[in-house]
Structure 1
Amino acid sequence: MIRRWVLSLLKTVRKFFGEAIVVTQEVDDIIQSPIVKESIINNSDCKILLDQRKYMNKFDDIQAMLGLTDKEKAQILSINLNNNPKRLYKEVWIGLGGTHSGVYATEVSYSEYLAYTTEETEKLQVMNLAKELGGNVEMAIKRLVQEKQEEHKE
């Protein structure tokens, strides 16, 4: 029942030139679900993957399910391995229907980086400064950006 509904939804969205987006943080959600496998993956031309190194032991299963070539597998497993430490970016793999694929850097401004970072030391730095500024996180981020800009001028 659910499988037919998901398949119908995907086909309807495509019929109107739309894009259905499915996001998961757990690779097992993809590997173990026949609904995902039969309804979503088989009807998706565009696939976007982030760093998959923690799934290296399962990646052959992922490769088979997603229908990835060995070249695409190598691209995906290369994500974030040789990033320039002086730049704030992460890499992402985008595959378009088996015809084009590549690894791309996604880079944001320093203020955006500070707003969304998950690095504990950086989050603490922002939150501690915000506490000094009466709880104003936006002001704390602006101050840290300004400090970094002044460091680079010297």
Structure 2
Amino acid sequence: MVRRRVLSLLKTVRKFFGEAVVVTQEVEDIISSPIVKGTIINNSDCKILLDQRKYVNKFDEIQALLGLTDKERAQILSINMANNPSRKYKEVWIGLGGTQSAVYATEVSLEEYVCYTTEETEKLELFRLSEKLGGNIELAIKQLAESKREMKTII
């Protein structure tokens, strides 16, 4: 019953030229679910994967499940293996229905980094600066990003 509902939802979304997005942090969510295997993966032309090195021992199963070619497998397992240490970026693999795939670097501005970091010390620094600025978080983000830029040029 759940499988039929998920399939119906996917077909309805596609009928109206939309795209359903499924996100998971654990590969087991994909491997262990017959609903995901039978419905979502079979109806997904676009697949986006982040660093999969921790699943290298399970990657034969993942490759078969996602219908990946050996070239796509090599691309995925190369993610973040040779990043430039002077830049802050992460890589992502995007595959489009078996016709095109590549690894892309995703890099954000310092303002975006300061805004979205989950590093506790950096968050606390931002919150302290925001308090000094009367709660103006936007100004705090701008000032903190600028101070990080200045530190890079000094070093």
TM-score by length of 2: 0.87
| 1:150 matched residue in structure 2 | 150
Distance 1:131 1:142 in 2: 14
Distance in 1, matches of 2:53 and 2:127, equals: 30
Per mean C-alpha deviation after superposition, the further-off stretch among 90-99 and 15-24 is 15-24
Is the Cα–Cα contact under 8 Å of residues 130 and 140 in structure 1 kept in the other structure?
yes
Amino acid paired to 1:8: S
The answer (yes or no) to whether the contact 1:94–1:102 under 8 Å persists in 2 is yes
Structure 1 equivalent of residue 20 of structure 2? 20
CA RMSD of aligned residues (A): 2.0
Q: Distance in 2 between matches of 1:126 and 1:77?
A: 35
Residues of 1 paired with 2:33 and 2:152: CA distance? 50
Work out whether residues 88 and 110 of structure 1, in 8 Å CA contact, stay in contact via their aligned partners in 2: no
Identify if the C-alpha distance between structure 1 residues 127 and 60 changes in structure 2 by more than 3 Å, giving closer, same or farther.
Answer: farther
Consecutive unaligned residues in structure 1, runs of 5 or more: none
Give 1:14 deviation, angstroms. 1.6
Is contact 1:88–1:113 with CA below 8 Å preserved after alignment?
Answer: no
TM-score (norm 1): 0.88
Secondary structure, counterpart of 2:21 in structure 1: coil
Structure 1 residues 30-77: Cα deviation after superposition (integer angstroms, max 9, x where no partner): 000000000000011100111112222222211111011111111111
Pairing 1:69-80 to 2, within 5 Å after superposition: 69-80=69-80
Shift of the 59–153 alpha-carbon distance from structure 1 to 2, 3 Å rule, reads closer
Please give the residue correspondences for 1:82-121 in structure 2 after superposition, counting only pairs within 5 Å. 82-121=82-121
Contact 1:3 1:35 in 2 (8 A): yes
1:3 corresponds to which letter in structure 2?
Answer: R
Identity of aligned residues (%): 75
Distance in structure 2 (CA, Å) of the matches to 1:124 and 1:84: 28
Please say if residues 90 and 106 of structure 1, whose CA atoms lie closer than 8 Å, have aligned partners that are also in contact: yes
Aligned to 1:139: 139
Aligned length: 154
Counterpart residue type for residue 65 of structure 1: L
